[in-house]
Chains A and B, each alone.
Chain A
Amino acid sequence: MRLAIMSFAHVHAEGYIHNLRAIPDVQVIGFADDDRERGHHFADLYGLDFFDSYADLIAERPDGVIICSENAHHLPLVQMAAEAGVHVLSEKPLATTLEDAQAILDVCARAGVHLMTAFPMRFSAPILEVYRLITTGQLGHIIGANTTNQGKLPRYHTAYPRAWFEDKTLAGGGAVIDHTVHLSDLLRWFLRSEVVEVFADVNDILYGDAGVSVETGGLVMLTFDNGTFASIDCSWSKPPNYPTWGGLTMELVGQNGLVTVDPFKQVIPVYRREAGGGAWAYWGSDSNQGMIDEFAAAIREDRAPSVTGYDGYKAVEIALAVYRSVETGQPVRLAP
């Protein structure tokens, strides 16, 4: 199987290289990037073939591509791949507008290619255990959930500069578009229910003095069709010297009890002699590997991936409803 990466704009592309190389029947044919400097940097760093253009890469007829461009640029890349009959795994959020997200679904459906959204948390071992507990009914009906997906300001979370994460035009927003989608997706998956109401409030107190123009702090309240309500803290509230990039936590209160999950806490703290040298070294399973394995398996078996483009679409719809709620100060209703 021949796979390729379109753009290294997203920091996750760096991890995916290792994941792709770990699959025995996968050949990484290389990548393209519209930022030539970035392209050469990562071609050298990872020993990858760097194609002059996306068109040249697609002309190589890969079986599938992973799209790691800036969020706003997903649609043209998906289009190019799909129309050439290439299966697509797109970084999250699938798009920055609902029109783009719909167009991505449509072009893939028309071309008959499989479309997967990069929601790696669905492949996290502790999260899978929560899924099992909930879907086998052991917690009973889930009353409410208190969840967080917090991180450092993106510029502190990557060695290579990726300023676009803080650019509304390219990213679609700030902390909200970056950090609500994983949790809204996990909750939809756990609950087998759709979001019917979104309320949110955001602020720009964190790094407001550092030239960041998008929202950096946010609290979201989702209500699902089955009655469950869940708050999401999507803030970029971990300081630059925090011992890890951030994290994702969930506390789910069910009729029969409580489950808490903190999958990125599978770490050993490591303290170095240098100033500010405390860091958490992660030893948990690599959920990205499970996700990339699933993408390869879907291509190999010519079937829909377990996480679909529609899942990506729904997460975009919820994130955009967050912004509408912020604008109006009122809850926003969504069709289930």
Chain B
Amino acid sequence: MFRVGLVGAGFMGGFHAAGWAHTPATLAAIFAADYDQMHALCRRTGAQPVDSLDALLDAVDVVDICTPTHLHHGMALKAAAAGKHVICEKPLARTPEQAAEMIAACRAAGVTLLPAHVVRFFPQYALAKQTVDEGAVGRVAVVRLSRVSSGPAWAADSWFTDFEKSGGMMLDLMLHDFDYARWVAGEVESVFAKSAGARNPGERQDYGLAILRHTNGALSNIEGGWAYPPPMFRTALEIAGDGGLIEGPAEGAIPLGVYLRQTGEGGDAITGVPSSPLAEDPYTTQIKHFYDVIANNAAPRVTAEDGLAALRIAFAAMESARTGRPIPIEEVQ
């Protein structure tokens, strides 16, 4: 029996719920603070709405935490204490200390803890990693990763933009590429970073650049931001090694472009977003993998320790941006 309980029914909860439907597991229960969202997602999935985390823990074997970042720690500790396996959206926790506690608690309870770093499941990123591992680019020298969108307007209560809750842009968004850089180029030794508010430099730090030095001498340039005019969103990946180069996305590639004429009060306007449709959503690929890890002891593609390491890089980047100094990772506890 593999019963999953989903905590949080927002943007990410919806993706995870859709993923569980493609596994042999049963999405048994959902607990969410937003009553309407919880009931809507339950109607869609057939899961039981419950009115507390305790009620959810009683009904399931695995807890899938898709709540705002600051809540991960407390919920994961409760789940571990109840002997439930834990899947947790990234960032694994609001602080490295919390993440370390979660890891220790899950280990003590003998349950699995898996952070959802979905970028590792996006096929272009997974293929680039595999290509590096196969030796196609030789020894990795310089990595370039970018991920910039407009502000996270999808969060109804804007917890993303509440630093206390989300940890800000570097922790929420750049974390993806901190994790990926470490995955392809190895452990990070030190970080130098700059950040500023995209609308007003002194305000919310929502544009950033970071230079990572990896222990093996490789360097990574990471760009992140909630700084573009909507609906603009761009990611980029480049891995240069002594044996070759990976560039992504392929230059000029727009697998699908949809540009619709909108007639309205503002006159004609064309809105369009290029996309790259896949037979399987990367979130679903990720959830299927989590199922495999917990049900069949598959080796996890991303571990809780990876989640903690990414958090430490993000904290070093924020500390560097704040102090103007390069921050050795070992300074981040």
A residues apposed to B, CB below 8 Å: 141, 143-144, 146, 148, 150, 197, 199, 201-203, 205-209, 216-219, 221, 223, 227, 229-231, 233, 235, 237-239, 242, 251, 253, 255-258, 265, 329-331
Q: Which 5 residue pairs across A and B have the least CB separation, nearest first? A: A237-B240, A205-B141, A229-B194, A217-B141, A146-B223
**Which residues on the B side are within 8 Å of A150 (C-beta)?**
240
Given the contacts A221-B194, A227-B196, A331-B324, A146 and B219 also touching, CB distance less than 8 Å? no
- Do residues A330 and B326 form an inter-chain contact, with CB atoms below 8 A? yes
B residues apposed to A, CB below 8 Å: 139-142, 144, 146, 148, 192, 194, 196-201, 207-209, 211, 213, 217-221, 223, 225, 227-229, 232, 240-242, 244-245, 251, 324-326
- Do residues A258 and B228 form an inter-chain contact, with CB atoms below 8 A? yes
Nearest CB of chain A from residue B184's CB, rounded to whole Å = 14
- Do residues B139 and A205 form an inter-chain contact, with CB atoms below 8 A? yes
- Complexed CA–CA distance, A208 and B217 (Å): 12
- Complexed CA–CA distance, A239 and B201 (Å): 38
The chain B residue with its CB closest to the CB of A235 is B142
**Which residues on the B side are within 8 Å of A265 (C-beta)?**
251
Nearest CB of chain A from residue B194's CB, rounded to whole Å = 4
The chain B residue with its CB closest to the CB of A258 is B228
The chain A residue with its CB closest to the CB of B238 is A237
The chain A residue with its CB closest to the CB of B206 is A143
Nearest CB of chain B from residue A296's CB, rounded to whole Å = 36
**Which residues on the A side are within 8 Å of B227 (C-beta)?**
143, 253, 258
- Do residues B200 and A217 form an inter-chain contact, with CB atoms below 8 A? no
- Do residues A239 and B196 form an inter-chain contact, with CB atoms below 8 A? no
**Which residues on the A side are within 8 Å of B146 (C-beta)?**
146, 251
**Which residues on the B side are within 8 Å of A202 (C-beta)?**
219
- Complexed CA–CA distance, A197 and B192 (Å): 13
From B140, B192, B197, B229, give the contact of A199 (CB < 8 A).
Answer: B192
**Which residues on the B side are within 8 Å of A330 (C-beta)?**
325-326
The chain B residue with its CB closest to the CB of A257 is B229
Nearest CB of chain B from residue A11's CB, rounded to whole Å = 22
Nearest CB of chain A from residue B276's CB, rounded to whole Å = 19
- Complexed CA–CA distance, A258 and B223 (Å): 14
**Which residues on the B side are within 8 Å of A231 (C-beta)?**
209, 211, 221, 223
Nearest CB of chain B from residue A210's CB, rounded to whole Å = 8
- Do residues B142 and A233 form an inter-chain contact, with CB atoms below 8 A? yes
**Which residues on the B side are within 8 Å of A219 (C-beta)?**
142, 211, 219-221
From B144, B219, B221, B225, give the contact of A253 (CB < 8 A).
Answer: B225
- Complexed CA–CA distance, A219 and B144 (Å): 10
- Do residues A143 and B198 form an inter-chain contact, with CB atoms below 8 A? yes
- Complexed CA–CA distance, A329 and B209 (Å): 18
24 contacts between A and B (CB under 8 A): A141-B201, A144-B194, A146-B146, A150-B240, A197-B324, A203-B141, A205-B141, A205-B218, A206-B240, A206-B242, A208-B242, A219-B220, A221-B211, A230-B209, A231-B209, A235-B142, A235-B240, A239-B245, A253-B148, A256-B229, A257-B228, A258-B229, A331-B192, A331-B324
- Do residues A255 and B199 form an inter-chain contact, with CB atoms below 8 A? yes
**Which residues on the B side are within 8 Å of A256 (C-beta)?**
229
- Do residues A205 and B221 form an inter-chain contact, with CB atoms below 8 A? no
- Complexed CA–CA distance, A126 and B227 (Å): 23
From A144, A233, A257, give the contact of B144 (CB < 8 A).
Answer: A233
**Which residues on the B side are within 8 Å of A217 (C-beta)?**
141-142, 219, 240
**Which residues on the A side are within 8 Å of B194 (C-beta)?**
144, 221, 223, 229
**Which residues on the B side are within 8 Å of A209 (C-beta)?**
242
- Complexed CA–CA distance, A150 and B325 (Å): 26
The chain A residue with its CB closest to the CB of B146 is A146
- Complexed CA–CA distance, A50 and B308 (Å): 65
Which residue of B197, B217, B242, B326 has the most chain A CB atoms within 10 A of its CB atom? B242
- Do residues B197 and A143 form an inter-chain contact, with CB atoms below 8 A? yes
- Complexed CA–CA distance, A265 and B229 (Å): 24
**Which residues on the B side are within 8 Å of A233 (C-beta)?**
142, 144, 221
The chain B residue with its CB closest to the CB of A232 is B221
From A235, A251, A253, A331, give the contact of B325 (CB < 8 A).
Answer: A331
- Complexed CA–CA distance, A255 and B199 (Å): 5
**Which residues on the A side are within 8 Å of B244 (C-beta)?**
239
- Do residues A237 and B213 form an inter-chain contact, with CB atoms below 8 A? no
**Which residues on the B side are within 8 Å of A257 (C-beta)?**
228-229
- Do residues A146 and B221 form an inter-chain contact, with CB atoms below 8 A? yes
- Do residues A255 and B198 form an inter-chain contact, with CB atoms below 8 A? yes
- Do residues B213 and A201 form an inter-chain contact, with CB atoms below 8 A? yes
Nearest CB of chain B from residue A140's CB, rounded to whole Å = 9
Given the contacts A144-B209, A233-B221, A238 and B245 also touching, CB distance less than 8 Å? yes
**Which residues on the B side are within 8 Å of A235 (C-beta)?**
141-142, 240
The chain B residue with its CB closest to the CB of A145 is B209
- Complexed CA–CA distance, A42 and B223 (Å): 44
The chain A residue with its CB closest to the CB of B214 is A203
- Do residues A253 and B241 form an inter-chain contact, with CB atoms below 8 A? no
The chain B residue with its CB closest to the CB of A208 is B242
